[in-house]
Amino acid sequence: MFNDIVKANRSYRRFFEQEVVTRETLLTLVDYARLVPSGANKQALKYYIACEQPLNGEIFATLGWAGYLKEWQGPIAGERPAAYIVIVQDKDYKMVTSFDAGISAQTILLGATEIGLGGCMIGNIQHAKLQAVLNLGENLEIVLVIALGKPKETVVIEEMESNGDIKYWRDEDQVHHVPKRQLKDIVLS
Amino acid sequence: MFNDIVKANRSYRRFFEQEVVTRETLLTLVDYARLVPSGANKQALKYYIACEQPLNGEIFATLGWAGYLKEWQGPIAGERPAAYIVIVQDKDYKMVTSFDAGISAQTILLGATEIGLGGCMIGNIQHAKLQAVLNLGENLEIVLVIALGKPKETVVIEEMESNGDIKYWRDEDQVHHVPKRQLKDIVLS
């Protein structure tokens, strides 16, 4: 069961934008993140949630998409995320480790996958611009954006040869292929 | 279902040490980590797994436990972890983001929780000593240790008041209490 969720949890970048993700759903996902491990239990992360226009569009305009797909400018209108969770660090709480954001983001995406949603962690952010869009105070620092929605693309894992090319690619049917190292290449003992 | 796993996935630091965690189980968990998102798909993390003596004891000797429990030196013999997964960065692969380790570690712990195991992410590591114990080359940098086993303690989440004390504590029955911020205190919008 968990195995199925991990496998289904791919990075999706095209969505059925009209399929609404409710605020209630986003709060459920953030509540998962609330309960995860945090270095020294500092819990310095906070969450800005968005699931409506025009805010969605304003957030979208601050993000960069899929670095390896040079020809692709990101999802077109109608295929953009239906919601966002912006992970923010409250600097007053002195986060011990940046692992925290990965822990939270992955938990949110696994939770989303269970209910038929999907998404993508985005680190390519115009920070100052998004800071202004969300009207965040100086003590709040944007760490990561999670785009969410009902996925409108197929993502396939490819077994990678040892020291092969890590770059993902799209085929002519717009199927997204992601090379992953094999288990034998990542186990050291 | 996922909700149950997230809630059951507490940080456990005392175990039934005699309950073996097999190499096969550890490989299953690492295989989950193999499939998680990775910044720019770099996949720079590798995994050293251990589930036997004397190696377990040698790893244990390099770890610090539960910073807020000043009186406690860590689990006694018989209550120590039955296994470890040491997350290591291969510097030749140029990891883009330290989020990766959090993503992997949380996925491993959620997978462990599903099958009745539990554990703890440990960042308080004597790096040079553990590097020598595991005989890791210079291109491999230890990032995080996950201790694993069948939990032998009860961990309870406490709802924290706004800006309350984040320190976890043990009561006289050795129940471990962990204050977590409330949802209203971490949602910004």
Of residues B9, B50, B67, nearest to A189 (C-beta): B50
Radius of gyration of chain A (CA): 17
B164 and chain A: CB distance < 8 Å anywhere? Answer: no
State the CB neighbour count (10 A cutoff) for residue A184: 7
B129 and chain A: CB distance < 8 Å anywhere? Answer: no
Binary contact (B123, A168; C-beta < 8 A): no
Binary contact (A123, B189; C-beta < 8 A): no
First to last CA, chain B: 27
Contact indicator for B49, B120 with CB cutoff of 8 Å: no
Q: Label residue A97 by pLDDT band (50, 70, 90).
A: confident
* pLDDT tens-place string over residues B133-159: 999 999 999 999 999 999 999 999 999
State the CB neighbour count (10 A cutoff) for residue B31: 18
Which phi and psi angles does A63 have, rounded to 5°?
-110, 145
| Closest A-chain CA to B156 | A35
Q: For position B187, what pLDDT does the model report?
A: 98
B20 and chain A: CB distance < 8 Å anywhere? Answer: no
A188 and chain B: CB distance < 8 Å anywhere? Answer: yes
Binary contact (A106, B107; C-beta < 8 A): yes
Helix or strand (DSSP H, E) at A45: strand A45-50
CA distance A168 to A180: 9
B50-85 burial string, b = 16+ CB within 10 Å, else e?
bbeeebbeebbebbebbeeeeeeebbeeeebbbbbb
Binary contact (A166, B41; C-beta < 8 A): yes
CA distance B36 to A9: 8
Q: Label residue A67 by pLDDT band (50, 70, 90).
A: confident
What integer is the mean pLDDT of B61-65? 97
> Looking at beta carbons, which residues of chain A come within 8 Å of B32?
2-3, 6
Q: Which residues are B4's β-sheet partners?
A: none
Q: Across chain A, how many H-helices and E-strands are there?
A: 6, 7
CA distance B109 to B89: 19
Of residues A3, A88, A168, nearest to B188 (C-beta): A88
* Whether this model's pTM surpasses 0.90: yes
* pLDDT tens-place string over residues A25-66: 999 999 999 999 999 999 999 999 999 999 999 999 999 998
* pLDDT tens-place string over residues A71-96: 899 999 999 999 999 999 999 998 77
Is residue B136 left, alpha or beta, with left meaning phi > 0 and alpha meaning psi from -120 to 50?
A: beta
Of residues B36, B43, B99, nearest to A144 (C-beta): B99
Does residue A140 have a pLDDT over 80? yes
Put simply, the chain A residues between 85 and 114 with a CB less than 8 A from any chain B CB are 88, 96-107, 109-111, 114
CB within 8 A of B153, min separation 6: which ones? B12, B13, B14, B174, B175, B176
* CA torsion, ordered A118, A114, B177, B109, to nearest 10 deg: -80
Binary contact (B103, A100; C-beta < 8 A): no
